[in-house]
Amino acid sequence: MHEALCPGVDHTGLLQHRQLLRRVGQGAAGAFERGAEPRAEIAHVVACLQRLGEGGDHAEHGPLARLGHRLARGACPGLHRLRQSRRRHRDAVAEVRSWLRESIAAGAGLQVGSGHGPVSHFAGLWRRGGLEAGPGRAAIAAEWWSSIAPIRTAIDDLPFLHGLADGTLPEASFRWYLAQDALYLRDYARTLAEAARLAPDSAEQAFWAHSAEQSVIGELQLHASLLSPEGIGAATFRADPAPATVAYLDHLRGTAFDGDYRVLIAALLPCFWIYADVGTRLHAQAGGDPAHPFASWLDEYADPRFAEATEEAIRIVTAHAAAADAHTRERMRTAFLRSSEHERAFFAAAVL
């Protein structure tokens, strides 16, 4: 086998080659036993191979260089198996931890025992109809919120947000934003209503329907009153939608059209979650001053009732994500990430 790899190598070179391959196996095994990544070992071997190749003729250099390339890419079967084995161990531990977390969380449903027990070992099995353990609601919420940290930081850094907080935002810019948000809220309420139509039970149906109502009665009326003394009317929706507004609404409409309730509510969640987070912090920065030029807007999104609605939306979405199969959960996460990015683009589009 080694001779086939190295045509043209003389006896001395072939002996060096075999010794080197033996050291590769020993070094990789040692690295595995120490729990360290064998990349340093591989780099050393690759360098040795290159030096061996450079010392021989052209026929010798090619095969040695190819072997070095294979090692550098991790194509050596032994090292590949080591990596796969270690990955399987990590995955197994993670799966066991997920299984235990959901089993402990579901223990109360057994209605037996007390204290730190019981543990409902088969809760996930009955719910999913399979052995694969999935993350719980809290883990999903933490992971999703963490995954949009760069987006949230980008939102916080926008001049528009700074102007809202300290009251220096030009009135024309604020009115432009309100006009775009009015267009957005009109169709956002429609997608909330579609979520209510698709909801699997009356409690979730009521929640999304009430949220749709609040989008119109609460938020949209506030926007309209700030834009015009007459309140909601034709003038409320007179503005031409900006590209960011169109893109966000197209995303929501497309998700609703697909008809998957779970993916739709994941796409709807950032409007709750990001606005509650931003509104609460901006309200705190403004000091709750009633004389602040944007006090009514800040009060709307820092309202405890909006925070409660946001918590309920998070609970519903993450519960469905926890119960979903891995493919659906990933689709939900993707929809959530895309909506979050649209939130950033919407804030960024405000003209200063």
Domain containing residue 201: CATH number: 1.20.910.10
Decide which of 75, 91, 109 is a domain's last residue.
75
Decide which of 128, 163, 191 is a domain's last residue.
128
**pLDDT value at residue 106:** 67
Instruction: Residue 95: name the closest of 124, 53, 67, 119 by CA.
Output: 124
Residues (pLDDT < 70) of the chain are: 1-134, 217-237, 288, 351-352
Give 224's contacts (C-beta < 8 A, 6+ positions apart).
182, 230, 231, 232, 233, 236
Q: List the domain range (segments joined by +) for residue 108.
A: 81-128
Do residue 181 and residue 325 come from a single domain? yes
Q: How many CB atoms lie within 10 A of CB 139?
A: 17
Do residue 247 and residue 231 come from a single domain? yes
**pLDDT value at residue 209:** 95
- State how far the Cα of 231 lies from the Cα of 227, in Å rounded to an integer: 8
**pLDDT value at residue 233:** 52
Do residue 29 and residue 151 come from a single domain? no
**pLDDT value at residue 286:** 75
Count of domains observed in the chain = 3
Q: Where on the phi/psi map is residue 130: left (φ > 0), alpha (ψ -120 to 50), or beta?
A: beta
Instruction: Residue 318: name the closest of 348, 273, 286, 259 by CA.
Output: 273
**pLDDT value at residue 254:** 96
**pLDDT value at residue 24:** 47
**pLDDT value at residue 52:** 45
**pLDDT value at residue 178:** 85
pTM: 0.64
**pLDDT value at residue 220:** 59
Give 249's contacts (C-beta < 8 A, 6+ positions apart).
183, 184, 187, 188, 241
Do residue 214 and residue 280 come from a single domain? yes
Do residue 313 and residue 266 come from a single domain? yes
Q: What percent of the chain has pLDDT over 70?
A: 55
